[in-house]
């Protein structure tokens, strides 16, 4: 026995090995803390950089539309309004479209292979860079929809949101390209939530003679609702922060207008347009706008996470 043991020279862990273990663990710990450090860093940096503008304009910044580097007057109302309107309206279109698609994928209308192909197509859409979608929007979508916009203006011009003559890029196009970007998010999360609804609930409804869509509306959708809601919120956060495609197609005008057919602005497109060339107090005002955007998307995001946690273990 003694003889054999001597063959294992490393049986006793050397001090160095113990140290490596400790170093390894602590390195991993430090690396994981980086996330918190970066997140905190982003919040603090953006906040302190916007401080000058914040102390000068206060909350007035949020409700005035003047953006004049010459006169040093700044107010981001147009951009904030544009961010909210484009993201909410695009979501309004995406929700029925995405949930409808998710239902199609989870029900057995067509064989599974086709459903999986459609599902992958929708998910691949999420992989297309937003700048490419913007390019496509400029050269394909805008000419294609122009006739339709003119029609909207001619017949529904009395409604404020269609009151301006469509001339090229505008907020409505930004909304449409956002729909394309949000669709994969809403669809895939809605599909996951629908798949998680226990089969026995569907059996219960079918077993007492509920029709397919009665079952979907009364039993399956309500059970999947919280998951779908969380997905919708994540999509909302994404829509508010989305930059490239929107910047390329929205027309970038700080002149406030109720009309969706006129050029508009969002916070992120304002940042994309002006940050490179800004100086003086304009920079601080842009940071202020960035802070507003960050706060909006953080709130939405955290709320979405809370919703997921709260309802994920219902069954």
Partner 1 sequence: MIKTNKKTPKNVILSLENVSISYGTFEAVRNVFCNFKKGKITSLIGPSGCGKSTVLRSLNRMNDLIPNCSLKGTVLFDGTNIYDKRVDPVEVRRRIGMVFQQPNPFPKSIYENIAFGARINGFTGDMDELVESSLRKGALWDECKDKLNESGYSLSGGQQQRLCIARTIAIEPEIILMDEPCSALDPISTLKIEETMHELKKNYTIIIVTHNMQQALRVSDMTAFFNAVEYEDGDGGKVGYLAEFNSTKKIFSSPNEKTTQEYISGKFG
Partner 2 sequence: MNSLYYQKRLSRNIGDKFFTSLSVICALIAILPLIFLVTYILYKGGSQITPELFTLEPNPPGDDLDAGGINPALIGTLIITSIASIIAIPIGVGGGIYLAEYSKGGAFSKFIRFGVNVLAGVPSIIAGVFIYALIVSTKILFGSMYSGLAGGMALSILMLPTVIKTTDEGLKLVPNELRYASLGVGASMYTTILKVTLPSAFRSIATGVVLGIARAAGETAPLIFTALFSYYYITGFGDLFYEMGSLAVLIYNFALEPYDAQNKLAWAASFILVLSILSVNIFSRILAAFNEKPKRV
Subset of 199-228 contacting partner 1 (CB under 8 A): 200-212, 214, 218-219, 222-223
| Positions 232 through 261 that interact with partner 2 (CB under 8 A) | 234, 237-238, 240-244, 248
Regarding 196 and contact with partner 1 (CB under 8 A), the answer is no
SS (H, E, C) 101-139: HHHHHHCCCCCHHHHHHHHHHHHHHCCCCHHHHHHHHHH
| Positions 136 through 195 that interact with partner 2 (CB under 8 A) | 136, 138-140, 180, 183, 187
Residue placing its CB nearer to partner 2 in the complex, 256 or 303: 303
Residue 173 is encoded by which pair of tokens? 């196009």
Choose the contact partner of 203 out of partner 1, partner 2, none; CB within 5 to 8 A by kind.
Answer: partner 1
Asked if 173 contacts 249 with a C-beta cutoff of 8 angstroms, the reply is yes
Regarding 88 and contact with partner 2 (CB under 8 A), the answer is no
Q: How far is the CB of 18 from partner 2 (least distance, A)?
A: 8
Residue 267 is encoded by which pair of tokens? 């916070």
Regarding 96 and contact with partner 1 (CB under 8 A), the answer is no
Q: How far is CA 159 from CA 83, 93, 154, in A?
A: 21, 19, 11
Regarding 33 and contact with partner 2 (CB under 8 A), the answer is yes
Among the listed residues 7, 70, 127, 208, the single contact to partner 2 using CB under 8 A:
127
Total chain residues near partner 1 (CB under 8 A): 23
Choose the contact partner of 218 out of partner 2, partner 1, none; CB within 5 to 8 A by kind.
Answer: partner 1
Q: Which of 186, 176, 166, 15 shows the shortest CA–CA distance to 98?
A: 186
Question: What is the Cα–Cα distance from 60 to 56, expressed in whole angstroms?
Answer: 9
Regarding 84 and contact with partner 2 (CB under 8 A), the answer is no
Residue placing its CB nearer to partner 1 in the complex, 8 or 315: 315
Question: What is the Cα–Cα distance from 202 to 194, expressed in whole angstroms?
Answer: 11
Choose the contact partner of 219 out of partner 1, partner 2, none; CB within 5 to 8 A by kind.
Answer: partner 1
Q: Interface residues with partner 1 (CB under 8 A)? A: 108, 112, 198, 200-212, 214, 218-219, 222-223, 314-315
């Amino acid at each position: 026995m003694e003889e054999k043991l001597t063959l294992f020279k490393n049986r006793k862990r050397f001090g160095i090995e113990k140290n490596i273990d400790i170093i390894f663990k602590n390195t991993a710990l430090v690396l994981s803390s980086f996330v918190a450090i970066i997140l905190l860093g982003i919040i603090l940096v953006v906040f302190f950089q916007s401080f000058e503008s914040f102390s000068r304009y206060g909350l007035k910044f949020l409700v005035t539309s003047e953006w004049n580097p010459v006169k040093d007057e700044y107010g981001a109302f147009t951009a904030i309004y544009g961010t909210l309107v484009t993201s909410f309206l695009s979501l309004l279109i995406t929700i029925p479209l995405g949930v409808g698609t998710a239902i199609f994928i989870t029900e057995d209308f067509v064989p599974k292979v086709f459903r999986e192909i459609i599902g992958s197509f929708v998910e691949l859409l999420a992989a297309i860079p937003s700048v490419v979608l913007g390019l496509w929007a400029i050269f394909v979508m805008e000419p294609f929809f122009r006739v339709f916009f003119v029609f909207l203006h001619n017949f529904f011009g009395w409604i404020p949101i269609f009151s301006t003559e469509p001339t090229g890029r505008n907020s409505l196009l930004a909304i449409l390209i956002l729909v394309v970007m949000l669709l994969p998010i809403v669809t895939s999360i809605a599909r996951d939530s629908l798949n998680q609804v226990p089969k026995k609930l569907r059996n219960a409804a079918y077993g007492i003679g509920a029709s397919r869509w009665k079952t979907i509306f009364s039993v399956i959708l309500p059970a999947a609702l919280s998951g779908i809601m969380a997905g919708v919120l994540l999509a909302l956060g994404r829509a508010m922060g989305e930059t490239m495609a929107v910047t390329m197609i929205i027309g970038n005008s700080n002149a406030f207008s109720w009309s969706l057919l006129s050029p508009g602005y969002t916070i992120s497109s304002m940042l994309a347009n002006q940050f490179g060339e800004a100086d003086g107090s304009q920079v601080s005002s842009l940071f202020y706008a960035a802070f507003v955007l960050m706060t909006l998307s953080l709130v939405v995001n955290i709320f979405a996470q809370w919703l997921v946690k709260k309802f994920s273990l219902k069954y």
